[in-house]
Structure 1
Amino acid sequence: VEYLGFDDQGAGYTASAEMFGLAATTVLMTFIAHRLNWRKVVLISVLVMFFANLASAFVSNLDTFIALRFIAGLGAGSLVSLSFAAIGLTSKPDRNFGLMITWVLVYGALVLWVMPLAYELTGMTAVLLFFALFPLSALPLIQYMPASGEDQLQSGEAGTSLAPQFKIMALAAMLAYFTAQGVVWAYLFLIGTAGSLSEQAVANGLMLSQFAGIGGALLAAVLADRFGRSIPLAAGILGGAACLYFIIGEFSFPVYATTVIVYNFLWNVTHPYLMAAMASFDARGRVVVYAVAMQMVGLAIGPGIAATVISGGTYVNVNILGAVLFTLSFVLVLPPVMAQLKLSR
């Protein structure tokens, strides 16, 4: 905001436009991904991100900048959707989703750490140029992308497609789980300050939780399917719901920090197993594409739903809503996971 000369409202519109673009293409992919050549879509997505970020570095008009961020989001959405789908088609999706999410979290942590210094030394233009060039690193790897899920039928676990009613339950579980995440994460900072902590203390706790998230995703990659999926999903989802009990009312910094560390750790253990489960429900990768759309929609609508239950400046209803949605997601995802386990035996 400061470096571009926009006000807080402009920053909000910009972030919203980019996220809307990302969500739009993830939803669009649910209808057309099976008809497209994935390599061509990824190539186009990378180029769209390159040109949108490049152009963003040289504009000063807010409306133009917002439009370019929306276009960049469009490119990112299809790239994210098909990347998840491709990993779902691999022989070890649990491990590979864990590794993918680990590297995403490491990248995010490094960017957040370096960004203030980069702004100070080079200004916003150089930062946007980096974001323009970085997607091009994917170009040499496109040849390893499957042309489509239709040509990559899996054998074994995902070779037998799950019944439609179980797929619908699984997608509803994804929507419930990520709506819960949207509900909780939008207010986790304010829950901390309302609990008598200083803003810096809350920020410190959330920063520590990011490192725990990396550890959670890495643990999922190491364990893979060694203990199946129902046990990690039960621990991750229900454990996340239980965490919310400890940050109601007033609490100390050690309680808040421990809670958000465990919460983020469990989230990032759960995420790879959820995506691997979605991959196992369909041999062509379509369910994963739908699941990514549910993820984006859930994260988008969660904060708005949470806003409707806040009462009297307290956030206990946010905690309750998050816990209920987490529990609902587990109730919905367990039957498909168990049904797929029976099919794979």
Structure 2
Amino acid sequence: NFALYLTLLLVYSALGFWGMPLALATIGLKGIFLFWAALTAVSLVTVNYLPHSMEERAHPSPTSVDLSLPFLIAALAGVLLFNIAVGVSWTNIFLIGMEISHDEQAVANALLVAQIAAVGGALGAVYVERRYGRWRPMGVGILGGAGFLVLLLLYPNYTVFFLSACGLAVLSNFVVPFILSEASDMSTTGEMMTRAVAMQMTGIAAGPFLAGRILNFAAGFTIVKVMAILLLVLSFLALIPPMLERRRIMAKSPA
């Protein structure tokens, strides 16, 4: 279900990026916001089909443990930092592209391909976990995303922008299911999933705000790229202690 949700979200985003130049030219920014408001209103019809409470989870996951508060705080901090990084980078990716190439449609086309490619990242997480667990995929996803931003920082041309946008989209959506699953398994009650999703939404919302504040004092998007890189690295460092503690407890528990 989570992979399906990400797939639908990415398809919607891909179409949005592709059609943004045409939408701005025809209905303007006001029309776009009215369209989003209408879609949000229509989505209310699905509310009755959502789970009513966490009590519907009858049995805890067999891989879940109860970590102490410091480890839970570190895990939630990691989730928050990762999503701030995503918010900082992805909400400015169109403007970063425009700084490199002044062709709006070329940038929109690159982001369309990136969003379509990201579908494979979201779906691939389902199959990769069965073979490699979570530790290595999370490292590849988070640090790999930072690597693509470093590449874009060092070589700001359209080809590198295209590759970096695709790589960042694939890896960020690839790693999200691993991060949320790992956080969820740090509590047997399932409450950590709720908190992790809250941190996810907070981070995605805070990212653009922080980037905007920084851009008020700096010209160009170099500072945005550097900020996103540092946040990704810090998020992985914050996640390491709780992940190691969960593995330690799992190793000591009877089979």
The letter for the 1-side match of 2:136 is: I
Question: Per-residue CA shift, 1:131-180, capped at 9, x if unaligned?
Answer: 545543564x45xx37434863414211x312221111000001111111
Cα distance, 1:108 vs. partner?
4.6
Number of aligned residues: 243
Distance 1:219 1:203 in 2: 25
Distance 2:88 2:109 in 1: 21
Q: Which moved more, 1:257-266 or 1:186-195?
A: 186-195
> SS at the partner of 1:157?
coil
Structure 1 residue 320 and structure 2 residue 226: aligned?
yes
Partner of 1:341: 247
Structure 1 residue 218 and structure 2 residue 127: aligned?
no
Partner of 2:181: 276
Distance 2:93 2:177 in 1: 22
Structure 1 residue 136 and structure 2 residue 41: aligned?
no
The letter for the 1-side match of 2:45 is: L
> SS at the partner of 1:183?
helix
Q: CA RMSD in A?
A: 3.0
Cα distance, 1:216 vs. partner?
0.6
> SS at the partner of 1:213?
helix
Q: TM-score, normalised by structure 2?
A: 0.82
Aligned equivalent of 2:108, options 181, 203, 222: 203
The letter for the 2-side match of 1:209 is: A
Q: Which moved more, 1:195-204 or 1:124-133?
A: 124-133
The letter for the 2-side match of 1:336 is: P
Q: What is the aligned-residue identity percentage?
A: 33
> 1:299/1:180 Cα in 2 relative to 1: closer, same or farther (>3 Å)?
same
Distance 1:318 1:246 in 2: 14
Q: Is the 8 A contact 1:102 1:214 kept in 2?
A: yes
Distance 2:107 2:35 in 1: 31
Distance 2:171 2:35 in 1: 36
> 1:107/1:305 Cα in 2 relative to 1: closer, same or farther (>3 Å)?
closer
Question: Per-residue CA shift, 1:88-138, capped at 9, x if unaligned?
Answer: xxxxxxxx5333322332355467779989x99xx9999977654554356
Distance 1:136 1:281 in 2: 33
Q: Max radius of gyration: which structure?
A: 1
Q: TM-score, normalised by structure 1?
A: 0.62
Partner of 1:157: 63
Cα distance, 1:266 vs. partner?
0.2
Aligned equivalent of 1:168, options 63, 67, 73: 73
> 1:113/1:192 Cα in 2 relative to 1: closer, same or farther (>3 Å)?
closer
Structure 2 unaligned blocks of 5 or more = none
